[in-house]
Amino acid sequence: MPRENSPVAAMLMEHDQGRAYVVGMEAAVQKTLDGLPGHESAIAENALAYAALLREHIGKEDDILYPLAERVIPEAMRGEIIAEYRRAEERTGSDLSEQYRKLVEKYEQE
């Protein structure tokens, strides 16, 4: 369990904050779809905050977390880790990267 003030704990809190932004967007979108005016700014504010959080969070993962993992995970374990990721992907029944690529393309067209 990460210490409360550790970088890992901070990154985990960012996951919670990201979920809160998504919930905020969903609630505002639903109110708008229900015909209630005045929720457009809440959609935009949550979306912009979520995008900023993702940029910062992914930067921390790329610049800090993944290099740290590369240093501390023993070479002997890496093959099994990759094999487990492949097994997990197979259990989903589809290629997740392809699934998300199509989803992004759909949203870009809209």
Residue 33: both structure tokens together: 């779809």
Interacting residues of 54 by C-beta distance below 8 A, sequence separation 6+: 18
- Residues 52-64 have a mean pLDDT of 94
Looking at residue 2, what is its pLDDT? 60
3-state secondary structure string across the chain: CCCCCCHHHHHHHHHHHHHHHHHHHHHHHHHHHCCCCCCHHHHHHHHHHHHHHHHHHHHHHHHHHHHHHHHHCCHHHHHHHHHHHHHHHHHCCCCHHHHHHHHHHHHHHC
Give the domain range for residue 19.
1-72
> Could you tell me if 13 and 45 lie in one domain?
yes
If pLDDT is split at 50, 70 and 90, which confidence band does 22 have?
Answer: very high
| The pLDDT of residue 1 is above 70 | no
> Could you tell me if 84 and 41 lie in one domain?
no
- Alpha carbon distance 104, 85 (integer Å): 22
Contact 15, 47 (CB under 8 A): no
How many domains are contained in the chain? 2
> Could you tell me if 53 and 81 lie in one domain?
no
> Could you tell me if 58 and 39 lie in one domain?
yes
Residue 37: both structure tokens together: 């005016």
pTM over 0.85: no
Residues 70-77: contacts with CB within 8 Å, 24+ apart?
none
- Residues 96-105 have a mean pLDDT of 80
